[in-house]
Amino acid sequence: MTTARRRPATELDRVLSPDTPHATALAELLLAMADDEFVIGFSDSEWTGIAPLLEEDVAMSSLAQDELGHAAALYALLAGLTGTTVDAIAYDREPAEYRHCRLLDHGRGDWAMTIARRYLYDSADVVRLEALVAGSWAPLAELVGKLIREERYHRMHAETWLERLARTRGEPRDRLLTALATLSTDAGTVFTPLAAEPALIEAGIMAAPFTTLETEWRASIEPTFAALGLPMPEPVSDPGRGRLDHGDAFRWLWGEFTMVRRADPGASW
């Protein structure tokens, strides 16, 4: 790991180094969040050029870019804490080393699958972000404040599509129900407990443990699911491993997003 400092130290650097209090705990949290955003962003970007509607092609590509931007910002905080670079974190790991949640291991699938996954992920992400927005470590709290403002827009899109698919009898609703069934026992993996939680809560970085946040999340989506006659996601299967055991779909995605990097490691583009 190299520490490349090409500019004078700023105020931010003083709180963004391996010497930052709780750096290890923050690193675990940031890696999980950043990997989540990176994987869903990359996955959804696969719709570019083939989305069902021209306007949706632009909208979905834009959403995917937003997620990748969020990932980059979170990786940047992590890079500061661990003394490495964003690219090294994003691209130089083996598939098993990524810490995104199992919900996002599923392939892009059809439009209903993408919408179902976006809805489940975005509704969970907002609960997680709300628990971090008033945290004691300023760089993360400030970033989370910005992410919440952008995520409002993502949720608007996911909600309107969920409703549209759920209310249209026949193929749209059937495909949505199939997608929700496939994702059901992985939906809550966004809230996989982290070893760092006690330290983060004690430090005032996180407002509540993930088990509490998962309960909040389920309560938040219940009215929508009830109104649309959709089955609620089931409890997570094997919750301790919710960010591990990434399968073939992710391995394929990893091959795609590391292809350029692996072609010439260390090159600048």
Cβ atoms within 10 Å, residue 230: 19
Which of 200, 204, 257, 153 lies closest to 32 in space, CA to CA? 200
Segment contacting other proteins by CB under 8 A, of 57-65, 112-120, 135-143, 195-203: 57-65
177: contact with other proteins by CB under 8 A: no
62: contact with other proteins by CB under 8 A: yes
Minimum distance of other proteins from residue 62's CB (angstroms): 5
Minimum distance of other proteins from residue 216's CB (angstroms): 25
CA 110, 117, 179: angle at the middle one, nearest 5?
50
State which amino acid sits at residue 151.
E
Task: Quote the tokens at residue 236.
Answer: 């997570």
Minimum distance of other proteins from residue 34's CB (angstroms): 23
Minimum distance of other proteins from residue 55's CB (angstroms): 4
Minimum distance of other proteins from residue 56's CB (angstroms): 8
Site string for other proteins, 70-109 (x = CB under 8 A): ----------------------------------------
149: contact with other proteins by CB under 8 A: no
226: contact with other proteins by CB under 8 A: no
168: contact with other proteins by CB under 8 A: yes
Task: Give me Rg for the CA atoms of the chain.
Answer: 19
The answer to whether residues 186 and 106 touch, using CB atoms and an 8 Å cutoff, is: yes
Exposure class string for 197-224: b at 16+ Cβ within 10 A, else e: bebbbebebbeebbeebbeebbeebeee
User: Considering beta carbons, is residue 56 or 216 the nearer one to other proteins?
Assistant: 56
Q: At what angle do helices 138-167 and 111-130 cross, to 10 degrees?
A: 140
In terms of Cβ atoms closer than 10 Å to its own Cβ (0-12, 13-18, 19+), residue 107 is middle
54: contact with other proteins by CB under 8 A: yes
User: Considering beta carbons, is residue 24 or 160 the nearer one to other proteins?
Assistant: 160
Site string for other proteins, 227-266 (x = CB under 8 A): xxx-------------------------------------
Helices (H), the chain: 11-14, 23-44, 54-82, 86-91, 111-130, 138-167, 171-183, 197-202, 210-228, 248-263
146: contact with other proteins by CB under 8 A: no
Q: Where are the beta strands (DSSP E) in the chain?
A: none
Give the interface with other proteins as residue ranges (CB under 8 A). 53-56, 58-59, 62, 153, 156-157, 160, 163-164, 167-170, 227-229
